[in-house]
Amino acid sequence: MNSPELSKTYTATEWEDRLYQAWLESGYFNPDICLEKGVAASTAEPFSMVLPPPNATGTLHTGSAAMLAIEDTFTRFARMQGRPTLWLPGTDHAAIATQSKVERLLWEEEKLTRYDLGREELLRRIGVFVENNRDTMKNQMRKMGSSLDWSREAFTFDEKRHQAVYKAFKTMYDDGIIFRGDRIVNWDPKGQTTISDDEVIYKEEASQFYYLKYGPFEIATARPETKFGDKYVVMHPDDTRYADYAHGQTIELEWINSPITATVIKDTSIDMEFGTGVMTITPWHSMVDFEIAERHGLDKEQIIDLEGKLLPIAGEFAGIHIKEARAKIIAKLESKGLVTKIEENYVHQVATAERTGEIIEPQIMRQWFVGVDREFERDGQKTTLKKLMQQAITSRGGDITILPERFEKTYFHWIDNLRDWCISRQIWYGHQIPVWYRSTKTHDTLNGVEGYRGEEIFCGTEAPEGDDWVQDPDTLDTWFSSALWSFSTLGWGYDDALWEQQKQYHPTTLIESGYDILFFWMSRMILMSTYLLGEVPFKTIYLHGLVRDEEGRKMSKSLDNILDPLDVIKDYGTDALRLALVSGTTPGNDMRIGDEKLTNSRNFVNKLWNISRYVITLTKDGEEITSTQPETKTLADQWILGQLHETIQKTTYHLSNYQLSLAQETLRDFTLNDFADWYLEIHKVEKNNPLLLFLLKELLKLWHPFMPFVTEAIWSHLDAPTLLLVTRWPQSKQATSSTSNEFEQLRTLITRIRNIRATYRIAPKAPLIGILYTATPEVFESNRFLIEKMASLTFTTSQEESTKNPGSISLIEGSFTLSLNLSSLVDFSAEETRLIKELTETNHFLSGLSARLDNPQFRNNAPAQVIEAQEKTRKEMQEKIIALNTALEEVKIALA
């Protein structure tokens, strides 16, 4: 084979960009081209996956790098199996986040607000901003080696997805699943928009907790500013402390600004153990209170406006922001003798908006909702969206498997408690709600916003004909469009012919993302797909964990431990980053990464390069690469082929079952141990160049999904007919166990002889004489030269002595029995003293270490990474003690 010589070192920056360009130019990221060129089989089961669309304004971080590394590994594996493989890319318009960012820049740079620009101009500027950022994000994905089909790239706010969104909305509206109503929602006073329950972040806060006199009762609250409209006092019907009070009973009492009439409400939702077991309710500004009011048909009165200021009901406090009003209200209550106690540093969970950080103010507003409990017909049966979502998982008879399985419980808990989804947002960027109104002069207002009550209403994918129609100004929740992602990217909703052509890729084989997005996105995809298509959106959910630093800490600016993937790529190369991210990665568990792991990964990349360079140098004047397995000449040849096929079988199984870490560990063990440490050394004694080259070729195939750049770079020096990208995945064959067992005996024998040299510190070139007593003749004769070379000894088969020489050590391994005469090489008396001393010191160290590790106080207080490291040390010390005891026994026998 005549091929250019590999450079002495692998420099990632010299290869990565041009290799990615070669992949792009080949067109093989597109399954249609793979089918056309015969590198994919039309009879094979397709593999499909959609990229979880990153925010168009975002940048690559370690979490997204992990996602790309994991997904690309599965994609490349499937493509090499000859499956029509589609990994579809795209980005999310992330409406609230994007508009907030542009508005912030607008103010910082021009001191303008969105109202200064107007809707049309703001949307134009957002469009330019998003397009620039999308290009940046795409380049970052390419840096990770992501083999995405860029010809199918989508955007949740492009025209095609817009048509799909409108079709989905109208379908659900016509079925009564989408409705408009006056319901309590999460209102962000800073962002001036509603947000979904999933975009509410609960933060722990220490504040004052107030105990107030409410007529004959004592109530407790952290928010006295909401209490102006509290005219209902609620208690549990079984609470014997309040048995004298009847449901509906009225009580006259003094309150913040004046006397009021309060009504007693008995409700089973009350926690009798919390406080006094009595509470007042503010239905307009509390989700829990709203539900109580709904159950009992109670009045609801707004106390706080949409900007966080008190309304006229607050009397003298009207117009004051709630943050400023609290202290003044408490002062007023104290002056009236209505404050019984103030508890300092009361720790509770405060609801805040994910994007703005502002404290959420629940408000009753006229909004659009998806009714998860509303019934509709499906296959002649009544069902609901909630039921469809519950029935989609395999444990409930569905088709979706969640990895890891423990997240099923979390999923069902969330679904079982799911409330109607508020989908309308009071921002300008996003899919404007496809509903138009025409006035009938019976408008009213709610929260100061015109409500169009009594109007004509039209829902459609296009504006209605006629004059005076006004489109609803609100936009849809970003998750509404991204919930259609698995099928809106394939033609559904805008191109029926394309959808028919690409339906083979739906449901997708896999959806992969962080476990923190299970509810945000995946559950909504299940909702939309099961409702609109009658099938699940994907077959398997793979949830990866958070990426943490080497000490197990979450990455943050305050800890100065954030790793920029692009910086890592510059320093270590993409393959090293990818390998570090999937090494030790199991579904649902957080992963750690840092300099040590990255350095080890880079060293392995370089190791593979050096191994390949050695093999190619040895074989450059000989054989061409072939797809057929060369003949074996020796027992070692048969053994290494058996090890290879076992590795292929295990790696294939692990990748097919999404076990990345086990696949990578299997490959690493074969590469470093069987191939590099043993077979390459054996090859120096027993040459078989065709087999050596064949082994390298198969090894590169197996490593390609994990390390695409370095493997493709090496492959390019093998005069192969196709890119490694689309070379077929290796097929395993059954190895004979007898061959494997025979060679393992030889390998163990050689290892034990090498260990004796190391244990007794015998120089590598010092001659060892092995006196052979028994062995399988054919095995010994055919491998004698190999054993002598690998173990650096000379055999003698003389059996003149009926007993072993003093100063000799016996070795029994399988059919082999031999002794090594070490009397001239080892001072056994000194070795006995040394071993006893080392054994004593090691036992003492292990005793102290175990005492610490077995101490509950230490385990409760020590960081997890410290405990993990010390457990590893304990295991190493235990293994060392076993080895020292074995050596000591051998010394005693030699001295006998």
pLDDT tens readout for residues 602-638:
999 999 999 999 999 888 754 555 557 888 889 999 9
Task: Work out the number of other CB atoms within 10 angstroms of the CB of residue 309.
Answer: 18
CA angle, 39 then 45 then 49, to 5°: 90
Q: Does the pLDDT at position 420 exceed 50?
A: yes
Q: What token pair was written down for 101? A: 């960012």
The mean pLDDT value of the chain amounts to 89
Read off the pLDDT band of 553 (50, 70, 90): confident
For residue 319, pLDDT over 90 is answered with: yes
pLDDT single digits (tens) 46-78:
999 999 998 887 777 888 899 999 999 999 999
Q: CA-CA distance, 796 to 783, in Å (whole number)?
A: 14
Nearest to 628 by CA among 717, 697, 719: 697
Is residue 595 scored above 70 in pLDDT?
Answer: yes
Closest of 66, 70, 56 to residue 102, by C-alpha: 56
The residue ranking higher by pLDDT, 248 or 865, is: 248
How many CB atoms neighbour CB 338 within 10 A?
20
- Measured between alpha carbons, how far is 744 from 649 in angstroms, rounded to an integer? 20
Q: Is the peptide bond before 856 cis (omega within 30 degrees of 0)?
A: no
Q: Read off the pTM.
A: 0.86
Span 40-49, mean pLDDT?
Answer: 96
pLDDT band at residue 558 using 50, 70 and 90 as cut-offs: low
User: How far apart are alpha carbons 88 and 209 in whole angstroms?
Assistant: 52
What pLDDT does 626 receive?
55
Which residues are within 8 A (CB) of 540 and not within 5 positions of it... i.e. 6 or more apart? 400, 401, 402, 403, 509, 510, 511, 658
Residue 3: per-residue pLDDT: 44
The C-alpha atoms of residue 441 and residue 438 are separated, in whole angstroms, by 9
Q: Is the pLDDT of residue 529 over 50?
A: yes
Weakest mean pLDDT among 225-234, 309-318, 745-754: 745-754
**SS3 state of residue 424:** strand
Residue 161 CB partners (closer than 8 Å, separation 6+): 154, 155, 481, 484, 488, 489, 493, 494
Mean pLDDT value of segment 273-299: 93
What's the DSSP call for residue 216? T
What pLDDT is attached to residue 146?
A: 97
In this prediction, residues 363-380 reach a mean pLDDT of 93
Asked if residue 854 lies in contact with residue 870, where contact means CB atoms within 8 angstroms, the answer is no
- The per-residue pLDDT for 802 is 37
Among 42-56, 507-521, 732-746, which stretch is predicted with the lowest mean pLDDT? 732-746
Q: Quote the pLDDT of residue 444.
A: 55
- CA atoms within a 13 Å half-sphere pointing along the CA-CB vector of 328: 13
Instruction: Please enumerate in sequence order all residues whose Cβ is within 8 A of that of 79, keeping only pairs 6 or more positions apart, or say none.
Output: 28, 34, 40, 47, 85, 147, 725, 726
Q: 558: exposed, middle or buried (C-beta count within 10 Å: 0-12, 13-18, 19+)? A: exposed
At residue 1 the predicted structure's pLDDT band, cuts being 50, 70 and 90, is very low
Q: How many CB atoms lie within 10 A of CB 866?
A: 14
Confidence label for 454 from pLDDT (cuts 50, 70 and 90): low
| Torsion angles phi and psi, residue 56, rounded to 5 | -60, -20
**Strand-by-strand arrangement of the 794-796 sheet:** 794-796, 769-774, 816-821, 808-813
Q: What beta strand segments (E) does 20-151 contain?
A: 47-50, 85-88, 90-91
Q: How far apart are CA 823 and CA 264, in angstroms?
A: 99
The pLDDT of residue 621 is: 57
List of residues 6+ apart from 477 with CB closer than 8 A: 95, 196, 421, 422, 423, 424, 425
Q: How confident is the model at residue 552 (pLDDT cuts 50, 70, 90)?
A: confident
Per-residue pLDDT band at 801 (split at 50, 70, 90) = very low
The residue among 440 and 663 whose pLDDT is bigger is 663
Position 6 scores a pLDDT of 82
Strand 547-548 relative to strand 591-592, pairing: parallel
For residue 209, pLDDT beyond 70: yes
Say whether 174 sits in a helix, a strand or coil: helix
Cβ-proximal residues to 106 (8 Å cutoff; 6+ apart), any chain? 112, 113, 114, 117, 122, 125
Long-range contacts of 33-38 (CB under 8 A, 24+ apart): 34/79, 34/84, 34/85, 34/726, 35/84
Residue 573 phi/psi, 5-degree rounding, is: 95, 155
Task: With cut-offs at 50, 70 and 90, classify the pLDDT of residue 738.
Answer: low
Task: State the pLDDT confidence band at 196, using cuts at 50, 70 and 90.
Answer: confident
Whether residue 767 is preceded by a cis peptide bond, meaning omega within 30 degrees of 0, is no
* CA atoms within 13 A of residue 876's CA, in its CB half-sphere: 8
Least confident of 433-447, 505-519, 669-683: 433-447
Indicate the range of 15-24, 255-264, 570-579, 797-806 predicted with least confidence.
797-806
